[in-house]
Chain A
Amino acid sequence: MLKTFMKMKEQYIKTEMEYTVNFWMMLISGIVTRVLYIAIPFIIYQNIPDIAGWKVEEINLIMSYLFIAEGLCSILFEGIWQIPEMVFHGKFDSILSRPISPLFQVLSYGMGLQGIGVFIFGIICMFFYLNTLGLLEIGGILLSLFFIICGCIILMSVYLLSNSLVFWFDAGGKTSIPYMISSIGQYARYPISIYPVLMQIILLFIIPYGFIGVVPVQAFREGNLIIYCLGILGMSIIFLFLSRFVFYKGIKNYESMGM
Chain B
Amino acid sequence: MRTLFKLTAISIQRSLYYKTSLILNLFTPVVVLAGQYMFWEAMYAQQTGLSIGGILKEEQFTYILLAFGVNNILSWSSENTLAREIQNGTVVSRCIRPVSFLTQSCSEMIGALIPQCIVNFGIVMAGIILFGNHLTPPGLHAVLYFIPCFLLAVLLRIMLIHIFSLLCFFTTGYLGLSWIRIALFEFFSGAVIPVLMFPDLLKRITYMTPFPYMLQIPVGLLLGQELPVSLPVVYIIQLSWLLGFYLLHVIIYGSIRKNLIIAGG
Among A25, A177, A184, the residue within 8 A (CB) of B35 is A184
A-B contact pairs, 22 of them (CB 8 A): A29-B173, A29-B177, A29-B179, A32-B184, A33-B179, A33-B182, A36-B187, A40-B187, A43-B199, A43-B202, A44-B43, A51-B46, A114-B176, A175-B77, A177-B28, A179-B76, A180-B28, A180-B31, A184-B31, A190-B42, A194-B43, A194-B46
Residue of B with least CB distance to A118: B179
A4: chain B residues at CB < 8 Å are none
Q: A22–B17 Cα gap in the complex (Å)? A: 35
B250 at interface by CB-CB < 8 Å: no
A195 at interface by CB-CB < 8 Å: yes
Contact with B along A174-197 (1 / 0, CB 8 A): 111101100110010010001110
A170 at interface by CB-CB < 8 Å: yes
A180-B29, A187-B35 are known; give 5 further A-B pairs, CB within 8 A.
Answer: A19-B171, A114-B176, A175-B24, A177-B24, A194-B46
A177: chain B residues at CB < 8 Å are 24, 28
Given contacts A19-B172, A43-B198, A174-B77, contact A184 B32 (CB under 8 A): yes
Interface size class of B (residues with CB under 8 A): 35 or more
**B20 contacts A48, CB within 8 Å?**
no
Looking at the assembled complex, report how far the CB atom of A189 sits from the nearest CB atom of chain B, in whole angstroms: 10
**A180 contacts B32, CB within 8 Å?**
yes
**B177 contacts A25, CB within 8 Å?**
yes
**A26 contacts B187, CB within 8 Å?**
no
**B42 contacts A194, CB within 8 Å?**
yes
**A183 contacts B32, CB within 8 Å?**
yes
Q: A47–B17 Cα gap in the complex (Å)? A: 46
Looking at the assembled complex, report how far the CB atom of A179 sits from the nearest CB atom of chain B, in whole angstroms: 5
Looking at the assembled complex, report how far the CB atom of A26 sits from the nearest CB atom of chain B, in whole angstroms: 4
Looking at the assembled complex, report how far the CB atom of B199 sits from the nearest CB atom of chain A, in whole angstroms: 6
Chain A: residues with Cβ within 8 Å of the partner, total of 43
**A199 contacts B35, CB within 8 Å?**
yes
8 nearest CB pairs, A to B: A29-B176, A174-B77, A194-B42, A180-B28, A33-B183, A26-B176, A172-B18, A47-B53
**B21 contacts A170, CB within 8 Å?**
yes
Q: A190–B76 Cα gap in the complex (Å)? A: 25
**A50 contacts B53, CB within 8 Å?**
no
**B46 contacts A50, CB within 8 Å?**
yes
A39 at interface by CB-CB < 8 Å: yes
A52 at interface by CB-CB < 8 Å: yes
Looking at the assembled complex, report how far the CB atom of A23 sits from the nearest CB atom of chain B, in whole angstroms: 8
B39 at interface by CB-CB < 8 Å: yes
**B183 contacts A190, CB within 8 Å?**
no
Looking at the assembled complex, report how far the CB atom of A157 sits from the nearest CB atom of chain B, in whole angstroms: 20
A47, A112, A171 — which one has the most chain B CB atoms within 10 A of its CB? Answer: A47
B52: chain A residues at CB < 8 Å are 47-48
Q: A199–B176 Cα gap in the complex (Å)? A: 31
Among A39, A44, A169, A176, the residue within 8 A (CB) of B187 is A39
B180 at interface by CB-CB < 8 Å: yes
